Structure 1
Amino acid sequence: MDRMSGLDASFLYLETPAQLMHVCAVMVLDPSTMSTPYSFATVQAGIDDRVREMPTFTRKVRRVPLGLDHPVWVRDTSFDIERHVHRLALPTPGGYGELMELCAHLASLPLDRSRPLWEMWIIEGYRPDGPDGAERVVTFTKMHHATVDGVSGANLLSHLCSLEPDAPPLDLGEKQPHPRDPGRGELLGRAVIGTASRPLTLARVLKPSAQLVTKTVGRARQGTAMAAPFSAPRTSFNGTITSHRAIGMADLDLDEIRRVKKATGTTVNDVVLTVAGGALRAYLADRDELPDSSLLATVPVSVRDSSRRTTGANKVSALFTKLGTDIDDPLERLAMIAERNRHAKEHHNAISADSLQDWAEFAAPRTFGLAVRTYANLRLAERHPVVHNLVISNVPGPPIPLFFMGARIEALCPLGPVFHGAGLNVTVMSNAGNMHVGVIACRESMPDPDALVRHFPAELARLGSSAEDPA
């Protein structure tokens, strides 16, 4: 039996018909590198062969009776690849606009919880260079956040990829055993024992949490604390969301990002956040919505290397950071973000790597889900101060070209979930010299993400020019 961690299960409880908790990825493939001509049947069979012995792809959720404990993973003994890998074709002319519209529609659909929580759509007929250009194949993948976080999701996709067109898939190490299906009595017994031991667990996590509060107050007085939640200005994408999604993508030159990083003595993440801050500033200014104070972003942080936990798909924490949208000069914005990020990292490092996971164990299935639905139905996100404006994730990707079923990956763009109160998510991922930017938003909050995405390359160019001539 493979019990879900509290953090993994929380993503199930957070899900509503409007707040969909899956993560997505768009891969643009060049089929000309395949040793045999592309066919959907061959690709589907190849995926089936590679995922069938991977528990993450073949397990499904089983609830504990009476909701006494977090759900467990069990093997789907009737796993059928045809229920997970589907085929679609873009309408003519098959350009970027048609692709984004289709991907947004697919991102708006919930996953079926009676089956393993992932789907892949093979999309044919994509012509990014116009009707007369070469055709590309696109894969749109959805996996529930209860199954993966950013790092583990990238690793799982890597299992379907190879370093050469005809090479075997990348080896991810020792294979994990498939979870067994426990009986009802065992589930109830374990749930009762777990419930009885929660007071002891609570006592164990209360002391370090109280110490953290004291240290945070001290940091705040010294001006070295990370940015505080509930201090964000309200924008058009900070309210109650719907199930409709809108998507935009862009590519940045990773070498240019590294050049700016080296010239300014900052980090890649500092540069990415600066570019994002500049793009958001330009987008809001175009709409006459630019607030006087800076936008506040939640930045997920992987704690996979420092966590003491050996189970659970999600090993993440988060920090809050100001994006400097109130600063016009890009170098000044970069300096501010770099300094604040240093303080935020120091503050974050003082927090136990497992703190979020420890507290998530107390998320009661019924109570948590009811609270989320009540919060959405009463539109409370529009009544209290804004917690944060958006989520920005930076996921490290492979630095070398990869091949998916023999087709070269030209773009690999991840997309995270959006939340009530923060209907915008920006995720960037590096791959083979590029930084791919994926923007997903509630369509009613941001109908045209391209109006934001198109500012990313321009802001990087502006930052690069300023770094060349600081004067």
Structure 2
Amino acid sequence: MDRLSGLDASFLYLETPAQLMHVCAVMVLDPATMTTPYSFAAMQREIEARVRDVPGFTRKVRGVPLGLDHPVWVRDKDFDIERHVHRLALPTPGGYAELMDLCAHLASLPLDRSRPLWEMWVIEGYRPEGKDGEAAEEKVVVFAKMHHATVDGVSGSNLISHLCSLEPDSAPLVPENAPHPRDPGRGELLGRAVIGTATRPVTLVKVLKPSAQLVTKSIGRARQGTAMAAPFSAPRTSFNGTITSHRSIAMTDLDLEEIRRIKKVTGTTVNDVVLAVSGGALRAYLAERDELPESSLLATVPVSVRDSSRRSTGANKVSALFTKLGTDIEDPLERLRMLAERNRHAKEHHNAISADALQDWAEFAAPRTFGLAVRAYANLRLAERHPVVHNLVISNVPGPPIPLYFMGARIDALCPLGPVFHGAGLNITVMSNAGQMHVGAIACRESMPDTDALVRHFPAELARLTAAVDAEGGPGAAR
């Protein structure tokens, strides 16, 4: 029996009609590399052939009687590819604006929990703008959506690898070896749930001691000035309130080699540079609207603990750290240096926390109580009444260093998009891919109607940081 971990299940409990807990990806494909001419029917058949024996694509959620325990995964015996892979066409003129509007609409739709929790839309007729300002060759776009209960950043990339290859006509990157989950009887589910409920107090005692020690150590770090930024210390912005189900989406590309050069010259990390550019873009966006707060914005940065976790099960193996983005600092190089120093402290603080701490505590999320609490929180608009926990989520997902092919079509761009939350209606995700850093932003449309107004500042902020590094000089600064 394949039971959802507490953390995986929490993403189901967190979901409301407005707070949708799926992750998305926009893949721009070049069909010219395909060994046979593109057709939707052929692509749909090939996707079916690759996913039919992959549990991650063919399992669905089954609840436990009386909600006594977290749900389990069972195989969907009626799996039908036509319920998961759909065909759409962009309206004329089929450019970037039309694509973003369509993707935002698709991101606003919930997944059907009676089926495996994923969908793909193959979108035809996309004509991106070329370097000369004219429309380039027509591309095919795949908009993919998977529930966060099934994937995190790393496991999501691994799952997509079943559909990708290193050459147009080669085998998938990752063959499937995992067994399909079995379908337990009602009596077995109820019996396991009763045992789990009875032993929960013992488990709680085991979790409390290290958590208490962590609090003591965190207080000491705070006194020494080496603790990570604290939640509930963020300034309020227009995207920090109660969200709706409507979304806005934008994406852009950054030069990965330029980011790596800055990292090398300044002795920082790629993540430091990404966060510094993000902070600069957010500063510019808020300043344009006369909304720039005096104190720095606070971001939650998901961190994979897959390599250090003791748990062998569960799709989500993540923790998180909080970091100030330096939106109160005008100079981009000064912002980068501040972020690098704070991030070192945050990482040391984070490393002192058990890799499984979040997963351990998530086991105590009661299905019914948790779901009712989330809905009450939204209905009472409590996100607008207490101090802001954090302003946004920023994720950095490592991607392939070489070109990949999806069903034989080269992936020209791959932008992942995470969920947004009540109180933090903006999510920025970056992913490297064959020399580019793809930036995707998704927001609640009511609080950020024009996400492109934010995203367009990313290339400009990277250029400002490059100019600041070059102006200071030093070994490796000159091109």
Match of 1:156?
A: 159
Residue equivalent to 2:225: 223
Q: CA RMSD in A?
A: 0.8
**How far is the alpha carbon of 1:230 from its aligned partner?**
0.1
The one-letter amino acid paired with 1:146 is A
Mapping of residues 250-329 of structure 1, within 5 Å: 250-329=252-331
Is the Cα–Cα contact under 8 Å of residues 128 and 135 in structure 2 kept in the other structure? no
The alignment's TM-score, normalised by the length of structure 2, stands at: 0.97
Q: Distance in 2 between matches of 1:261 and 1:222?
A: 27
Q: Given the alignment, which residue of 440, 445, 462 partners 1:443?
A: 445
Q: Distance in 2 between matches of 1:157 and 1:55?
A: 13
**Counterpart in 1 of 2:39?**
39
Q: Give the corresponding residue for 1:6.
A: 6
Name the residue aligned to 1:167: 170
Query: Which one of the candidate residues 428, 431, 449 is aligned to 1:429?
Result: 431
Q: How does 1:34-113 map to 2 (within 5 A)?
A: 34-113=34-113
Contact 2:158 2:174 in 1 (8 A): no
- Cα deviation, 1:257-314, whole Å, max 9, x if unaligned, reads 0000001000000000000000000000000000000000000000000000000000
- 1:129 CA displacement: 2.2
SS across alignment from 1:78: coil
Shift of 1:158: 1.5
1:333-412 matches, cutoff 5 A = 333-412=335-414
Residue of structure 2 in register with 1:187 after alignment: 189
Distance 1:121 1:275 in 2: 31
Report deviation, 1:60: 0.3
Deviation readout 1:108-150 (Å, 9 max, x if unpaired): 0000000000000000000002775310000000000000001
Distance in 2 (alpha carbons) for counterparts of 1:166 and 1:57: 22
Supply the distance in 2 between the matched residues of 1:447 and 1:329 (Cα, whole angstroms). 28
Q: Calculate the TM-score normalised by the size of structure 1.
A: 0.99
Q: Is the 8 A contact 2:86 2:122 kept in 1?
A: yes
1:9-58 CA-to-partner distances (Å, cap 9, x unmatched) read: 00000000000000000000000000111000000000000000100100
User: In structure 2, the residue corresponding to 1:469 is in which secondary structure?
Assistant: helix
Tell me which amino acid in the other structure corresponds to 1:76.
Answer: D
CA deviations over 1:370-409 (Å, ceiling 9, x no partner): 0000000000000000000000000000111000011000
Residue 145 of structure 2: SS of its match in structure 1?
Answer: strand
1:171, CA displacement in angstroms? 2.4
Quick one: which amino acid aligns to residue 102 of structure 1? L
Query: Matched residue of 2:20: which SS?
Result: coil
Alignment of 1:116-131 (within 5 A): 116-129=116-129
Q: Distance in 2 between matches of 1:301 and 1:159?
A: 24
Regions of 4+ moved over 2 Å: 129-133
**Aligned residue in 1 for 2:477:** none
> What corresponds to 1:233 in structure 2?
235
CA displacement, residues 61-110 of structure 1 (integer Å, 9 cap, x when unaligned): 00001000000000000000000000000000000000000000000000
Secondary structure of the 2:228 match is coil
Q: CA offsets, 1:212-258, max 9 Å, x none?
A: 00000000000000000000000000000000000000000000000
The answer to whether the Cα contact below 8 Å between 2:5 and 2:314 also exists between their aligned partners in 1 is yes
* CA displacement, residues 298-340 of structure 1 (integer Å, 9 cap, x when unaligned): 0000000000000000000000000000000001000000000
- Specify the SS of the correspondent of 2:472: coil
Consecutive unaligned residues in structure 1, runs of 5 or more: none
Q: Aligned partners of 2:135 and 2:350: how far apart in 1?
A: 51
- Cα deviation code 1:419-443 (max 9, x no counterpart): 0000000000000000000000000
Task: Note if 1:142 corresponds to 2:145.
Answer: yes
* Kept in 1: contact 2:405–2:411 (CA 8 A): yes
User: Matched residues in 1 for 2:283 and 2:472: separation?
Assistant: 21
Q: Distance in 2 between matches of 1:34 and 1:439?
A: 29
* Cα distance between partner residues in 2 of 1:258 and 1:133: 29
Q: What letter corresponds to residue 77 of structure 1 in structure 2?
A: K
Tell me, in whole angstroms, the C-alpha distance in 2 between the residues paired with 1:143 and 1:316.
Answer: 17
Equivalent residue of 1:279, what SS? helix
2:55, 2:179 within 8 Å by CA — same for their partners in 1? yes
List runs of 5+ in structure 2 lacking aligned partners: 474-479
Distance 1:379 1:132 in 2: 44
